[in-house]
Structure 1
């Protein structure tokens, strides 16, 4: 019998095991899904998640990025910094993932679904086809797949209810993010916030 994975490969459709990343707070590194170890410029922990910033050496379009890992929401929220002339109409990129906190290391397991946020305008759910193929190929078990879809739907719904304003939606969830060079406005009461990274 031909498996779904073999069918996907025959059709040239993207199918791969869930991408795993490791964030080592002691070594100041980020091991990407391909096993490349990258130096992290800045890590900071908050009660709701982990912040990191690092350059993207050698990338043709992206110079650097900042991410927040948010375990409770099952999201990684990223802002990219583009090389001049390569800008894209993306304000935030959300990866749906299991986020596993730790004292020395954090770990994420990506669940294929992504959301592009265009501030104040739209949120677009991406890679549903890849998600479906992964589920059919049994790369995600039914419980994990359902959890991922629920997280993606909750994020898109929450963003829509808050006018596609990501900080406003997160604030309603008791989360106040701080980004490099961007002051925090209207912080959540009693919520410690990070100063911009240097």
Structure 2
């Protein structure tokens, strides 16, 4: 399978095309943007979104992840679990995405912009430079680019209004997320 980087290089682009991921609820897999199929240990569907937990085998710094796909907000909210010595001062990582829910399969298309949240302390938009290059390279049409930028701005504004308390902001949007809690073992291996 051709990777996003290979596609960008073939097209002579300084940035990869939008990253696409597939979440197969029947096969319990997550196909990442590079085409690698990863086993998902836990999917949970709620009216507002889809939860998943999986290990990240072979990753040098990240042991596992938990994510929520939230179509109404156009966000994928992730908690990373790092290998000892690789921890980062980030509580949540929010990808700005389009989400296509389905009964057996969900799909996301990443729109470059990300928001890192240091819970109850700060939020910061990342990858604006990559977003601008992608727009200039026409990898995002104007409508999609505007939607992505609006989502990122509304997210940061909402978080700021709630003093960067992600759970409180989400509750005000009718969303109550549940996580496995503080890491005592790989969350993707627990039920």
- Both structures adopt the same fold (TM-score exceeding 0.5): yes
C-alpha distance in structure 2 between counterparts of 1:14 and 1:57, whole Å = 29
* CA offset digits 1:28-84 (Å, max 9, x no partner): 000000000000010000000000000000111100000000000000000001111
CA RMSD, aligned part only? 1.6
TM-score, normalised with respect to structure 1: 0.85
2:54 corresponds in structure 1 to 54
Which SS does the other structure have where 1:170 is aligned?
helix
The corresponding residue for 2:153 is 153
Q: Which runs of 5+ in 2 are unaligned?
A: 1-7, 183-189
Q: Give, in angstroms, the shift of residue 95 of structure 1.
A: 0.1
Matched, 1:173 2:176: no
Map of 1:70-109 to 2, 5 A cutoff?
70-109=70-109
Distance 1:123 1:69 in 2: 19
SS in 2 for 1:66: strand
Change (3 A) 1:59 1:14: farther
User: In structure 1, what is the Cα distance between the partners aligned to 2:34 and 2:25?
Assistant: 19
Q: Which residue in 1 is equivalent to 2:116? A: 116
C-alpha distance in 2, partners of 1:37/1:89? Answer: 29
Over alpha carbons, which structure has the higher Rg?
1
SS at structure 1 position matched to 2:34: coil
Equivalent residue number for residue 127 of structure 2: 127
Q: Aligned partners of 2:79 and 2:147: how far apart in 1? A: 24
CA distance in 2, matches of 1:181, 1:133: 37
- Taking the aligned partners of 2:62 and 2:46, their CA distance within structure 1 comes to 26
Moved beyond 3 Å, runs of 4+ = none
1:64 paired residue number: 64
CA offset at residue 173 of structure 1? 0.2
Distance change >3 Å, CA 13–CA 137, structure 1 → 2:
closer
Equivalents in 1 of 2:13, 2:59: separation in Å?
A: 24
CA distance in 2, matches of 1:13, 1:82: 32
Return the alpha-carbon distance in structure 1 between the equivalents of residues 37 and 154 of structure 2. Answer: 32
Aligned length: 175
TM-score normalised over the length of structure 2: 0.89
What is the aligned partner in structure 2 of residue 28 from structure 1?
A: 28
